Amino acid sequence: MRKKLYFFVLILFCFFGFASNVKAEILYDITNFYLTDNTLTLNGWGLIHRHHNGNLSGGYANTYKFQLTNSSGQVVRTAEYKYANTSGNKDSWANSLSLTCFLNEQTVAGDNARCSTFHDDFNLTERNKIIMKGTNYYYDMINFKAVFNDMNTLPDDEYKISMTIISGYDGYSETENELYIIEDYVTNTSSIFDTSEFTGSLVGGVGQVIFIANNAMPGNFKNMDWSIGGTTLGGIEGGCYFTPEYKYNVWGKDELRTQGGATFYKYQLEFSSHNGSNCGRVWDDLNSGNKAGAYAVWVKPWGDSPILIKRKELDPCADGVYSESGVQIQTAKEYAYSNPGMCCDTTKGYEVLYETCCQNTELIKNQNIKYLDFCCKETEYEYYMNSDAIKLPTFKYYSPSTFDYETNIIGPSGICPTCDTREDYNYDEDTDTPSSCCLKYPENSLAYNEDGSYRCEKTNPVCSDESNQCYNSDYFEKNTACCCGLYGSESGYSEKCKIGPTTWKTNLSCKDSPNANTIIANTPTGVTDGDTVITEKVTFTNYTPLDVMKKNENIIKSGTGLDYKIDVQHTVTRTYNGVGSSKTNPIDFGCQNYTIAKTNAENYYYNTIAQQLNSSIYNSRSFDVGIKNFLTSNNTYKFNSIAKEDYYTLVDNTFVPNTPIDGSRVELYFEAMDWPTIYGCVKKTYSIMVPLSKEYIYNYSINFKDKFISKLDTSVVTDVTTDKKEYLDGYNRFYTETTTETGVYDFNITVSNGGVTGRLNTTTDGFSCQYGVVNKFYNNGIVDCSPNEFPCSDDNDTTTNGRGFYFRQISLFDPFPNGRTPGKNWRDYYIDDEYRYITHSGENDSYGSVSDEKGDSVYIEEPMYEVTLDADLINQIKKYNKSIHYDYGWQNMTNYAFNNVDSTTGNLLSSTSNFLSGIGGTSCYNNDICDKIDWNSKLSKISDTERQNKVGDFE
Amino acid sequence: MKESFWGYLIIILGVFTLAVILLFNDVTNTNDQNYYLVKEVTEAAMIDAVDIAYYRQTGIIAINKDKFAENFIRRYAESASMGKTYNIKIYDVVEQPPKVSLSVSSKSNVFSFTGEQFDIINKIDGILETKD
């Protein structure tokens, strides 16, 4: 595209004032400048300062020319201009050029027409001023506006613009008095002359300051003088004269303003008269209508050197792209997307689309993660998830040739995740953006969570075949998922892996099963004259979603209990036989005490309804107006299927529909009206309504803590209140077995047993979810810690086979020698190089205060248990062991039979050994079948009061 | 000195030496046996004492001190020699995290030396560690 529209227009703006018979000096300023696609417009003012040439034969109007010349001096454009209108308002100029009149209307008395000579259509009284500076020397003020058209067709880059004033000859402007004019081109107000002149009487004493003007501009200040009505100098008594110096004050920097590249200051101009010792009084007042003025300043021309007018070069990142004919081809955004990396300068002021700046890694790093995600998306397919519903950022397809992702983004110096760890795939909750790693592979997909967020349904394994590196702790930490086989790698499950189960079922996402919300039943059993239809709808409103269940903290250890709570909303809709009614007319109970009135009303309706319920539905009885609306055509009442417990709901002042707890069909309304002026009391009324159909909503929670499930896989559920379990069953928990293998298990919750109405005989589909179990207790043989085999390369303790914990003999002074990593259950007690409870006392240790040195000092304390095991005792114990079949379990512990839980706190109670207590049972002294040891004095035991019953950090 | 006295002396020395050897043999062998017995019994007792109910509630491995003491005594007695008297002292039981310190001393009921009995004392300190 030809850069025609972006040429540099170097315009030499010159003011030439010339005429063959006029000597002129021109001052000017360009106050505004417009350059559009094809038009150049100049606004400004000029002051021509010239001498009369002595030719008094006639007057001529000045001639002004605005011309644009090329480098060869050829005039290529001439500006159009016209005279300004009479208002002098530049904004509304109809003409492009206005000229001041050469003469003040009163400068030469009675010679107004002279201005007209020059500018026939100009109203002199409004603004045109002329100053005769001296003989043959005067100023000419102009405001101009020149317009050059068709600029876009000019072929060259540089032109010179000039304004030429050809002074006209004025034979009538000659005067002996210098007049000065005050102009203000800063404010550009139409009333500038109003502040630059004073009229009427002017009387001042010595040193008296007469305010002249505001808003004068600094520049080539001139001495002030004054005159009266165009007469000769005078008017100042006794040879007094005006001070040659003026005074002015700078207003302050806050008044600074910049215009046309120059800074203008505002001045307040004052002047006074003086005659040495007795001056200061104006000798002759100004005649009415006469004006005196002083010019304070004009702006010195800075246009005496060429000005460079550079046409703005369009920035495609900000303005888009245009054709030669000026038609926009691309918007700025389109250009940025089409030219990735080209519009990434944050200092240029345009909107940076960071997703187009992927190559600028430093820039992207500091931006929202969504840009990072996008930039790190290796494949080049369209971002197909663009939609309002999903609210993903709208990204544009990148050509593979545009970016070298491997080098710029993924590479060693790149900023993108390597997508080889599970964390790299995580959904970013802060930005509601799926990980770029998820989208890296087309075979992966995004799926919705219940809360509207995303998750990555990843099918592509990302683990490299470097599982042997899992021996390395650092590598393991960074690649836990791979090392743990979560992506189907060969590593397999590791004892070190924090996340055990891998087989989560995608079709069980902790949602209602497809039919869970369906109406369970109609035509209920056991109802012959009541409800025609009972429907129940079950909605699981609040529960832990699957993605949360998958988190490490929610994966339970085998043998422990599962906490899971589901909020259920159970909606029962009952449609009744018989007659319903709208709200009855209120019954006035008059001015009774509120409580009494209410009680009376309740009793009244209770009895009324009870009477009806206890009567044959065809038994006609007489009731008062309160329930007459229930009368059928045959004058019978029908409250079919209203059980006694459903009599009514008392609602004070407020109608509460579908109140589930009440479960009533008949609704009683109470209303209290404070009409003391009418009734002299608070009037109370009651009314009832019996709807034909009513919806009851029951909200409740299912909490596994409140259920005992003997084994999860059998799903035998019983209420804890009716089924106590043994101590080892572990309180009222929905618990797994210690032998439950690592894996994912699902559970299903259904509504049965007739639903909440007891009349429904269909078991609903229910709520299905999954929970993960990792067996830390017994490892089911999964982990074979053979030497040098992952993941037990650092731990050759073969005694750990099959169990998640192991015994180890230790030194009391160095329990974890040579930097050995403590087992997980001991890590929290390694504090400040102290192994609490071993080398130093712990918080609940009875061997001193926390951090006291402990070590082998325990051996100088009184033992907690001391037994003298002689032949007799050995013999007893052997009998004891034989009697209970060498069972070393917990049957002989106290509190074993039932839940050993404090009913208040829910905590486990202590369990003590019946073997050690030696109480009750059959002695083993002389009996082969026995369960009691006669310790005599061979056992000493420190009581629990002497030593804490449970030491350590039990929760 | 008659030659027969030399024979008596040799016989006496032989008997004495034999007694010393038997004494130390008894002591040393018992010590070996005791050490491994104590270690094995301690490990077994600690594992048996793991409070499953507490684990179900909390997922934390803890032991019950009474259960540990009971199991240790029962298991030790089951394997102990009737010819010795053992003094079992359980000095420290930290239920959570599980740690025990105990000692077992034994005295031979068969051999004594000038009326004095040698106490063979074995101490053991052990913990239960969980894996990650």
ipTM of the complex: 0.84
Of the listed ranges A192-206, A571-585, A671-685, A710-724, the least confidently predicted one is A192-206
Give the model's pLDDT for residue A876.
93
Which of A23, A46, A43 shows the shortest CA–CA distance to A34?
A43
Hey, are the CB atoms on B93 and A864 less than 8 Å from each other? yes
Give the dihedral of Cα atoms A579, A580, A586, A588; nearest 10 deg: 50
Whether A794 has a pLDDT exceeding 60, the answer reads no
Hey, are the CB atoms on A826 and B90 less than 8 Å from each other? no
Q: Where are the alpha helices (DSSP H) in A618-731?
A: 676-679
Asked if residues A771 and A564 have their Cβ atoms less than 8 Å apart, the reply is: yes
Does residue A152 or residue A837 have the better pLDDT? A837
Distances (CA, A) of A599 to A592, A604, A679: 11, 8, 20
- What pLDDT digit, counting tens, does each position of A413-423 carry? 455 665 655 55
- What pLDDT digit, counting tens, does each position of B49-78 carry? 888 777 877 778 889 888 999 999 999 999
Q: Which site among B56, B103, B106 would you substitute to test the A interface, given the most A Cβ atoms closer than 10 Å to its Cβ? A: B56
Q: Which positions ≥6 away from A161 have C-beta within 8 Å?
A: A11, A12, A13, A14, A40, A42, A66, A67, A68, A69, A148
Give the model's pLDDT for residue A357.
76
Mean pLDDT of chain A: 54
Identify the closest residue of chain A to B42 by CA–CA distance. A807
Give the residue-averaged pLDDT of B106-129. 71
- Give how far B114 is from chain A: nearest CA, Å: 22
Identify the closest residue of chain B to A561 by CA–CA distance. B56
Give the residue-averaged pLDDT of A44-72. 51
Q: Which residues pair with A685 in a beta bridge?
A: A588, A671
Hey, are the CB atoms on A954 and B62 less than 8 Å from each other? yes
Hey, are the CB atoms on B131 and A823 less than 8 Å from each other? yes
Whether A717 has a pLDDT exceeding 90, the answer reads no
Q: Which two tokens stand for residue A533?
A: 């239809």
For residues A585 and A602, give the distance between their C-alpha atoms in angstroms, rounded to a whole number: 16
Q: Which residues pair with A694 in a beta bridge?
A: A574
Q: How confident is the model at residue A102 (pLDDT cuts 50, 70, 90)?
A: very low
Give the model's pLDDT for residue A55.
32
- Give how far B9 is from chain A: nearest CA, Å: 38
Hey, are the CB atoms on B129 and A806 less than 8 Å from each other? yes
**Chain B residues closer than 8 Å to A556 by CB:** 59
Hey, are the CB atoms on A950 and B95 less than 8 Å from each other? yes
pLDDT above 90: percentage of residues in chain B: 25
Of the listed ranges A304-308, A432-436, A911-915, A945-949, the least confidently predicted one is A304-308
Which of A166, A202, A61 shows the shortest CA–CA distance to A119?
A61
* 3 state DSSP class of B33: helix
Count Cβ–Cβ pairs < 8 Å, chain A vs chain B.
234
Identify the closest residue of chain B to A725 by CA–CA distance. B53
- What pLDDT digit, counting tens, does each position of A134-192 carry? 333 344 455 566 777 777 677 666 677 766 554 443 333 322 222 222 222 222 222 22
Give the residue-averaged pLDDT of A799-813. 74
Does residue A837 or residue A126 have the better pLDDT? A837
**Beta strands A75-78 and A63-69, pairing class:** antiparallel
**Chain A residues closer than 8 Å to B63 by CB:** none
Hey, are the CB atoms on A859 and B97 less than 8 Å from each other? no
Hey, are the CB atoms on A729 and B125 less than 8 Å from each other? no
Instruction: Tell me which residue in A495, A728, A874 faces B52 most closely, judged by beta carbons.
Output: A728
Does residue A838 or residue A277 have the better pLDDT? A838
Asked if residues A334 and A17 have their Cβ atoms less than 8 Å apart, the reply is: no
Identify the closest residue of chain A to B77 by CA–CA distance. A874
Whether A935 has a pLDDT exceeding 70, the answer reads yes
**Chain A residues closer than 8 Å to B91 by CB:** 858-859, 861, 863-864
Instruction: Tell me which residue in A869, A888, A900 faces B71 most closely, judged by beta carbons.
Output: A888
Instruction: Tell me which residue in A559, A808, A838 faces B56 most closely, judged by beta carbons.
Output: A559
Instruction: Tell me which residue in B55, B90, B96 faces A560 most closely, judged by beta carbons.
Output: B55
Instruction: Tell me which residue in B67, B102, B129 faces A826 most closely, judged by beta carbons.
Output: B129
Instruction: Tell me which residue in B43, B74, B96 faces A954 most closely, judged by beta carbons.
Output: B96
pLDDT above 90: percentage of residues in chain A: 2
How crowded is residue A592: how many other Cβ atoms within 10 Å of its Cβ? 16
- What pLDDT digit, counting tens, does each position of A858-867 carry? 888 888 899 9
Does residue A831 or residue A124 have the better pLDDT? A831
- Positive or negative torsion for Cα A207, A208, A212, A217: positive
Quick one: DSSP state of residue A418? -
- Give how far A388 is from chain B: nearest CA, Å: 45
DSSP annotation string for A876-911: HHHHHHHHTTT--SSTTBTT-SS--B-TTT-PBPP-
For residues A251 and A739, give the distance between their C-alpha atoms in angstroms, rounded to a whole number: 92
For residues A720 and B118, give the distance between their C-alpha atoms in angstroms, rounded to a whole number: 57
- Give how far A562 is from chain B: nearest CA, Å: 9
Asked if residues A364 and A415 have their Cβ atoms less than 8 Å apart, the reply is: yes
Of the listed ranges A206-220, A298-312, A869-883, A897-911, the least confidently predicted one is A206-220
Q: How confident is the model at residue A259 (pLDDT cuts 50, 70, 90)?
A: very low
For residues A657 and A666, give the distance between their C-alpha atoms in angstroms, rounded to a whole number: 11
**Beta strands A939-941 and A865-869, pairing class:** antiparallel
Helix (H) or strand (E) holding A78: strand A75-78
Which of A235, A208, A50 shows the shortest CA–CA distance to A132?
A50
Hey, are the CB atoms on A955 and B55 less than 8 Å from each other? no
Give the residue-averaged pLDDT of A606-614. 46
Instruction: Tell me which residue in A735, A809, A875 faces B126 most closely, judged by beta carbons.
Output: A809
Does residue A401 or residue A538 have the better pLDDT? A538
For residues A905 and A144, give the distance between their C-alpha atoms in angstroms, rounded to a whole number: 95
Does residue B90 or residue A694 have the better pLDDT? B90
In this prediction the pTM is: 0.44
Measured CA angle at A28 (ends A26, A33), to 5 deg? 145
**Beta strands A8-11 and A158-166, pairing class:** parallel
Whether A916 has a pLDDT exceeding 70, the answer reads yes
Hey, are the CB atoms on A808 and B52 less than 8 Å from each other? no
Instruction: Tell me which residue in B42, B65, B82 faces A871 most closely, judged by beta carbons.
Output: B82
Give the model's pLDDT for residue A866.
92
Hey, are the CB atoms on B109 and A809 less than 8 Å from each other? no
- Give how far A439 is from chain B: nearest CA, Å: 32
**Beta strands A565-576 and A291-293, pairing class:** unpaired
Q: How confident is the model at residue B98 (pLDDT cuts 50, 70, 90)?
A: very high
**Chain B residues closer than 8 Å to A951 by CB:** 65, 93-96
Hey, are the CB atoms on B56 and A954 less than 8 Å from each other? no
- What pLDDT digit, counting tens, does each position of A345-368 carry? 888 888 887 777 776 767 776 665
**Chain A residues closer than 8 Å to B96 by CB:** 825, 950-954
Whether A484 has a pLDDT exceeding 70, the answer reads no
- Give how far A949 is from chain B: nearest CA, Å: 8
Of the listed ranges A230-244, A428-442, A899-913, B20-34, the least confidently predicted one is A230-244
Give the residue-averaged pLDDT of A194-209. 31
Q: Which positions ≥6 away from A374 have C-beta within 8 Å?
A: A355, A358, A383, A393, A395, A436
Give the residue-averaged pLDDT of A430-450. 59
- Give how far B16 is from chain A: nearest CA, Å: 29
Q: Which residues pair with A664 in a beta bridge?
A: none
**Chain A residues closer than 8 Å to B51 by CB:** 908, 911
Give the model's pLDDT for residue A891.
74
Identify the closest residue of chain B to A500 by CA–CA distance. B132
| Peptide linkage before A412 cis (omega within 30 of 0) | no
Q: Which positions ≥6 away from A879 have C-beta within 8 Å?
A: A924, A927, A928, A930
